[in-house]
Amino acid sequence: LVFTEEDKYGLYSNLLFKYFLAEGIVCGHDLFVASAKEHPDNILKELPAPLLDDTHGKELSDEAAAKSEDFQDSMKIAWRYQNLPKMEASPTTYTKFGHYYDVSKKMSPELCQSVKWHSFYLHEELSFEPKMKAWNMNSGYARLLQSIQRIISQEGFDGSDAQKKQRNVLRIGIQSLGSVLWGDDVCCSETPEDPHSLTKFLYVLRGLLRKSLSACIITVPAHLIQNKAIMERVTNLSDMVVGLESFIGSERETNPLYKDYHGLVHVHQIPRLNSLICDVSDTKDLAFRLKRKLFTIERLHLPPDLSDTVSRASKQDLAGSAKLLSSGCGAVAIGKKHLDF
């Protein structure tokens, strides 16, 4: 269960949501798309086109290698730093993992129809039958759980039952869960009238995922949820929690330090299925940028600020700090000297 915190305008989280569904189509997985905002048919029509010729991966590798060589040739540093490990934004050697997609093109209808997919549009579901309330949660969540449970049992994704046909994976995508469109009020006030529907839904959903051959991604407008206790419960009920922070409308949009990026990626929680600890990455500073064709996530590297005014200001600050701490630092240094001897 991948829990994705939407960016402020939902632009990049929606793109990440479509990447997840597009990867399922290319891999031949079954899809289940649920939304209360946009019709699932329109979501599938807007999926990015895959780059099946596999040339972009090699181009990215060559580009990273060329940048590394140019940096080594142009940058002359002190000998004491030459043997330190170098941080790369992306791996210099090309490794095949997943597929690349062209966001400037749409996936062909023939490719979309090559896999079996199911849809859940809340407004259509509520119009067919009167409202119901099961498991002590609102009707929208209850109907969605019933639909997912029916697909898992009828289409052969239940891992506890003997499979009569070839096994496959079900990819579940739920868009903007917890918003007002789902009939939930957690995004309206700090003290919602129904604060437990979202957490109950995630608890039941995770049980369905554990016993089935399925994976799920959920996007939630977390910036609208003001109650921190609800967010902590939601995080504990998810396997992986990722937040997207867009620079649109913020001070970082015009900051020259972030000119190469469009936002930050915050990894709040990493899956630890069937283990006591999880694999921790060597860096937590990640940023994303949307190129003309590709959406990439890289390590965040801020360029050094070598302007003359900043250098002079920093020297003056250091000189002033040294004068203020001269007596105290001297006493500490003398004490340390006697202690060393």
User: What is the pLDDT, as a whole number, of residue 329?
Assistant: 43
Q: Tell me the per-residue pLDDT of 122-154, one tens digit each, with 9 for 90 and over.
A: 989 877 665 555 667 888 999 999 999 999 999
Distance CA(218)–CA(318), nearest Å, equals 48
Q: Is residue 44 part of a domain?
A: yes
The predicted structure's pLDDT at residue 83: 54
Other CB atoms within a 10 A radius of the CB of residue 182 amount to: 26
Distance between CA atoms of 329 and 58, rounded to whole angstroms? 54
Helix ranges (H only) for 164-237 are: 197-210, 228-236
- Residue 54 has a pLDDT of 57
| Nearest-angstrom CA–CA distance, 323 and 265 | 41
Band of residue 306 on the pLDDT scale cut at 50, 70, 90: low
Overall domain count for the chain: 1
Mean pLDDT computed over 213-238:
94
Q: Which two tokens stand for residue 6?
A: 């939407």
For residue 258, is it within any domain?
Answer: no
pTM of the complete model: 0.77
Q: What is the mean pLDDT of residues 49-56?
A: 72
Cβ pair 123, 139 in contact under 8 A: no
**What pLDDT, on the 0 to 100 scale, is given for residue 300?**
85
Strands in the chain per DSSP E: 2-5, 30-35, 48-50, 101-106, 117-121, 170-175, 214-220, 240-246, 263-269, 286-290, 295-299
Report the pLDDT value the prediction gives residue 56, as an integer from 0 to 100. Answer: 52
Give yes or no for residue 76 having a pLDDT over 60. no
15-29, 78-92, 194-208, 277-291: segment of lowest average pLDDT = 78-92
Residue 43 counted as domain residue: yes
User: What digits encode the pLDDT tens for the residues 150-192?
Assistant: 999 999 898 877 767 788 999 999 999 999 999 898 998 888 8
Q: Is the pLDDT of residue 310 over 70?
A: no
What pLDDT is recorded for position 333?
Answer: 40
Looking only at the bridges linking them, the beta strands covering 286-290 and 295-299 are antiparallel
| Residue 14 within any structural domain of the chain | yes
Q: What percent of the chain has pLDDT over 90?
A: 48
Domain membership of residue 67 (yes or no) is no
Q: Is 248 contained in some domain? A: no
In 3D space, the residue among 191, 219, 194, 217 whose CA is nearest the CA of residue 205 turns out to be 217
Domain contains 169: yes
Report if residue 121 sits inside a domain. yes
CA 142, CA 136: separation in Å to the nearest integer?
9
Q: What is the mean pLDDT of the chain?
A: 80
Q: Check: CB of residue 1 under 8 Å from CB of residue 206.
A: yes
Q: Give the CATH number, domain containing residue 111.
A: 3.40.50.300
Q: Which residues form the domain of 151? A: 2-52+98-238
**Going by C-beta distance under 8 Å and a sequence separation of 6 or more, which residues neighbour residue 21?**
31, 33, 43, 44, 47, 171, 173
Q: What is the reported pLDDT for 129?
A: 62
In the three-class reduction of DSSP (H, G, I as helix; E, B as strand; rest coil), residue 96 is classed as: coil
